[in-house]
């Protein structure tokens, strides 16, 4: 029975973990595809019943969606937390799971590093260093500063835990009120107009969907303090990028750290490259050295459960 299962790994860099998966499950057939043409060919010829789907630039959303909706597929494991590259989950007929929580602590570490950088002004000192300018810049401790987290899942929770170690006051916004011991206060999204003007840092941790497209818009940026910093490590299209650029150019906010963008890779024509009050990274803030192996290991644990008929971890849809 096991020999009948074929597992397609959609990823352009499978070298670091693919052999380990094959060795752990010798009775299964593992195949991989790293671009649109390879995915289309494997789906047509091999008809895999399990997919391990990495979000990767060489494979388009259209192709990922096509594979996910194929009737031969019985289960999809997303290698990561975000699943927007699969299209509308409602149109996928098989169970879908993700790896939410696997890299949360690392993304939270990067967010904390960005807050420290922006707050102390390390990026401004680097600019001064390049110009050989010896000038002292005023700063205040993170102690007592207010962090507003929009989204309080695995990552938001980890960020809150880190921030409170520095004595920050953490306010979380969640779709529904629920116990969140890592936060000092928890509110629902309708309170954002009141919360945004109070925040020293605003950090986004929402999943991307049609409902969150351009969720953070011009009005929200206008509600922020001029001294506040904005952080987005979730998905680029959750933010109205044009409104963000305007807010930064006109210094309606103090600055930002961005790991995600409306178009990726970030086009050379983007005005974000030119702004001195912005820190940019290439959608890689949680990608610690062994992130491939961590996702593969999580998938392997879920695959053991799937083969045994047990309930799957991190089930997004049944």
The domains of the chain are located at 2-102+289-317, 104-280
Whole-structure pTM value:
0.94
| 58 pLDDT more than 80 | yes
Instruction: Give mean pLDDT, residues 78-83.
Output: 95
Q: Specify which residues 50 forms β-bridges with.
A: 7, 75
pLDDT digits (tens, 9 = 90+) for 127-184: 999 999 999 999 999 999 999 999 999 999 999 999 999 999 999 999 999 989 999 9
- Return the CATH superfamily for domain 2-102+289-317: NAD(P)-binding Rossmann-like Domain (3.40.50.720)
The question of whether 235 is a catalytic residue gets the answer yes
Instruction: Give mean pLDDT, residues 13-17.
Output: 95
Topology annotation, domain 104-280: Rossmann fold (3.40.50)
**Residue 99 to residue 96: CA distance in whole angstroms:** 11
Q: What pLDDT score was predicted for residue 2?
A: 43
Mean pLDDT of the chain: 96
Instruction: Give mean pLDDT, residues 12-29.
Output: 96
Within the chain, residue ranges assigned H as helices are 18-24, 36-46, 61-68, 104-120, 122-130, 154-165, 192-195, 218-223, 241-249, 291-308
- Selected catalytic residue, list 264, 293, 301, 304: 264
**Residue 127 to residue 4: CA distance in whole angstroms:** 59
Within 150-240, residue ranges assigned H as helices are 154-165, 192-195, 218-223
Strand pairing category for 75-79 and 146-150: unpaired
Asked if the domains at 2-102+289-317 and 104-280 fall in one CATH topology, the answer is yes
- Selected catalytic residue, list 124, 283, 292, 294: 283
- Selected catalytic residue, list 235, 241, 292, 294: 235
């Amino acid at each position: 029975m096991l020999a009948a299962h074929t597992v397609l790994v959609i990823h352009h860099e499978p070298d670091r973990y693919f052999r380990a998966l094959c060795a752990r499950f010798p009775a299964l057939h593992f195949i991989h595809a790293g671009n649109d043409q390879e995915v289309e060919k494997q789906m047509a010829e091999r008809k895999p019943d399990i997919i391990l789907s990495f979000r990767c630039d060489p494979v388009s959303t259209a192709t990922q969606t096509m594979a996910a909706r194929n009737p031969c597929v019985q289960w999809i494991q997303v290698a990561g937390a975000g699943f927007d590259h699969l299209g509308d989950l409602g149109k996928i007929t098989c169970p879908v799971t993700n790896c939410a929580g696997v890299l949360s602590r690392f993304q939270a570490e990067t967010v904390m590093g960005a807050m420290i950088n922006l707050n102390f002004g390390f990026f401004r000192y680097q600019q001064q260093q390049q110009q050989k300018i010896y000038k002292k810049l005023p700063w205040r401790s993170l102690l007592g500063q207010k962090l507003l987290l929009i989204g309080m899942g695995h990552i938001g929770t980890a960020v809150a835990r880190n921030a409170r170690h520095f004595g920050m006051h953490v306010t979380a916004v969640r779709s529904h009120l629920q116990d969140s011991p890592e936060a000092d206060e928890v509110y629902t999204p309708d309170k954002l107009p009141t919360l945004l003007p109070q925040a020293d840092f605003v950090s986004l941790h929402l999943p991307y969907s049609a409902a969150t497209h351009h969720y953070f818009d011009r009005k929200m940026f206008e509600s922020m303090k001029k001294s506040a910093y904005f952080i987005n490590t979730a998905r680029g299209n959750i933010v109205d990028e044009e409104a963000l650029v305007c807010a930064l150019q006109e210094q309606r906010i103090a600055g930002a750290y961005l790991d995600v963008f409306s178009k990726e890779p970030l086009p050379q024509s983007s005005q974000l490259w030119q702004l001195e009050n912005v820190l940019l990274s290439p959608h890689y803030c949680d990608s610690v050295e062994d992130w491939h192996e961590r996702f593969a290991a999580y998938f392997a644990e879920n695959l053991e459960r799937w083969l045994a008929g047990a309930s799957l971890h991190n089930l997004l849809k049944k």
